[in-house]
A and B are shown apart, each in its own frame.
Chain A
């Protein structure tokens, strides 16, 4: 067995729990988002290449390698790192590749709910759900990469739960 895999599984966050993955389109959206970043980087590298004398490719090569990693590997990892559950009237959001965070907000503590659709998200029919609590720290927890209809349904579900509790 690979020793790295052993280390990674050691008592870590990788509980055998069934997180719901985000919508696969989220991966494509991330790729598009990173592509824009990569374009900016490449433009910068081109300018640098033009003005700095020396071997052609001294700037391009590392930037291209980084851009490829950004385009191919990064969206996969970020997508795989994120997930959520709605079990037991609680929203649980897990995120982070290096620095993992695992947040649970009980429906009974939600003050209001936002559903946001950015321009890129709209291209892929995605939405971000943000729940706000009265807490000062971690006051709002957002969950990106949901299918638009799923986001709306989630909002309705949380709202129904709140209304039921307050009556």
Chain B
């Protein structure tokens, strides 16, 4: 770092150019290849090639030249109070981001840059809408250094010397909170069975059946195929059809399973969650490796989730709702697939708490559940009437009736399982039928409180409570109106104790003011 004194404008890593060129070439090769196949198909290979080759080379050269100029005109500068990036070939733009406005610095390594030891540095400002500042690409060391510099300058601390020794020390100090072994990732993949892929492939097989050497849905063909070697199967017409259908189903199931496995492995490989100096640091990914830091003081709420099969085996996921960035990535996976005893220490690290046994859990309003069940039943019954009157099969009216019954049972079940509680510091809400989700919020980290009532709710004395949460939503769909008012009064009391600037200010953790 001695050859770059701080405060000097610099360019991104020169190898960026190589990565961009490689990316561009791969993007160019495909259209050129397709073009070549269609053109050269007609014979006259030599003539056509001689005519088009200089043109293709010219296009490639022009692209290279532009890429080079772009690279040479993009400079960034680490200044006293901000980071400045100047870029542009014909129209120049200069952007300055004060350190105070940078929420997170994340590093992302896609496959090609990774081969070159490069990384993309993203400064998240919370502006949302993809307006964040990106620097692509810097060397891994430089990315790491920038991240440290930004963090230290923002927090008003002393800038580290930027020596490798300091970085190593930091690495050692990091405490691993959660990591996934390859075995765990594969197990996770099994539960990520992709129904969507099955549906899409099933549909595509019908649309694009010409791509397959055989017709997936042609049961007669299956019959022949299976019956081919053993003639005796032909006699079992129906059985062969069933076998054929079973084979197709197994094929789709394997496909769904494989998709889940591959997708999960690509995303979660070598998952590590560490507690660094400033917050949680998460690294994961097989081909594209991402490195995200979630500052602890920006954590707004936690979400515990599960799936309806995996909950039988005790698997849960933990997400962190963070103030930074847009809604798309505001929920960071902290532990995508873990047992509760692994999640508990992470929750403790974030300064939140899992619900303890002494909490005064409240139920969903019984009236709200009853009303919702009746409304849904009535809707489906109304759908059943025309089905009964107009359909040639009057019995088909039983279908919407059954659906209405299921909906009503679901409402009853929700009444049984949905819970909410207001603790001294935190508030909890559990909602869901097959895969219940629990949201853990902090009383002082809420922005606003709203009570909503429809005409029915007003007459029957229940309400929905919507809590303003930075980076997510937090609502309790139906509670008794008296409870809702009590919650609001108590939460407002907690909020009033702490100003927003003290909540998100990087200096010190906010004091939690219990009642």
Contact B330 A100 (CB under 8 A): no
Q: Assess whether B343 is interfacial by the CB under 8 Å rule.
A: no
CB distance from A83 to the nearest CB of B (A): 14
Report chain A residues within 8 Å CB of B460: 11
CA A11 to CA B500, docked complex, whole Å: 34
CA A134 to CA B446, docked complex, whole Å: 9
Stretch at the interface among A51-59, A104-112, A121-129: A104-112
Contact A103 B448 (CB under 8 A): yes
Contact B466 A106 (CB under 8 A): no
Q: Assess whether A142 is interfacial by the CB under 8 Å rule.
A: no
**Known contacts A104-B492, A106-B495, A109-B468, A134 near B450 by CB under 8 Å:** no
Determine which of B323, B468, B474 lies in contact with A139 in the assembled complex, contact meaning CB atoms within 8 Å. Answer: B468
Determine which of B323, B455, B459, B469 lies in contact with A99 in the assembled complex, contact meaning CB atoms within 8 Å. Answer: B455
Q: Assess whether A138 is interfacial by the CB under 8 Å rule.
A: yes
Report chain A residues within 8 Å CB of B458: 8, 12-13, 100
Q: Assess whether A159 is interfacial by the CB under 8 Å rule.
A: no
Q: Pick the most buried of A89, A90, A106, A133: most chain B CB atoms within 10 A of its CB.
A: A106
Contact B468 A133 (CB under 8 A): yes
Q: Assess whether B357 is interfacial by the CB under 8 Å rule.
A: no
CA A88 to CA B498, docked complex, whole Å: 14
Q: Assess whether B342 is interfacial by the CB under 8 Å rule.
A: no
Determine which of A11, A89, A108, A133 lies in contact with B461 in the assembled complex, contact meaning CB atoms within 8 Å. Answer: A11
CB distance from B496 to the nearest CB of A (A): 5
CA A131 to CA B401, docked complex, whole Å: 47
- Please count how many residues in chain B sit with their CB below 8 Å of the partner chain's CB atoms: 38
Q: Report the nearest A residue to B451, measured CB to CB.
A: A102
CA A52 to CA B452, docked complex, whole Å: 43
CB distance from A85 to the nearest CB of B (A): 12
**Known contacts A10-B461, A108-B499, A109-B495, A103 near B450 by CB under 8 Å:** yes
Contact A136 B453 (CB under 8 A): no
Interface string of A72-92 (1 = CB under 8 A from B): 000000000000000011100
Contact B451 A137 (CB under 8 A): no
Determine which of B327, B452, B482, B495 lies in contact with A100 in the assembled complex, contact meaning CB atoms within 8 Å. Answer: B452
Contact A13 B496 (CB under 8 A): no
Contact A104 B450 (CB under 8 A): yes
Report chain B residues within 8 Å CB of A106: 448, 492, 495-496
5 contacts between A and B (CB under 8 A): A10-B459, A99-B452, A109-B448, A137-B474, A162-B499
Give 12 new A-B contacts, CB below 8 A, not counting A108-B498, A136-B468: A10-B459, A11-B482, A12-B453, A13-B481, A89-B496, A98-B455, A99-B452, A100-B458, A101-B452, A106-B496, A136-B470, A137-B466
Interface residues of B (CB under 8 A from A): 323, 327, 330, 446-455, 458-461, 466, 468-475, 481-482, 485, 488, 492, 495-496, 498-501, 504
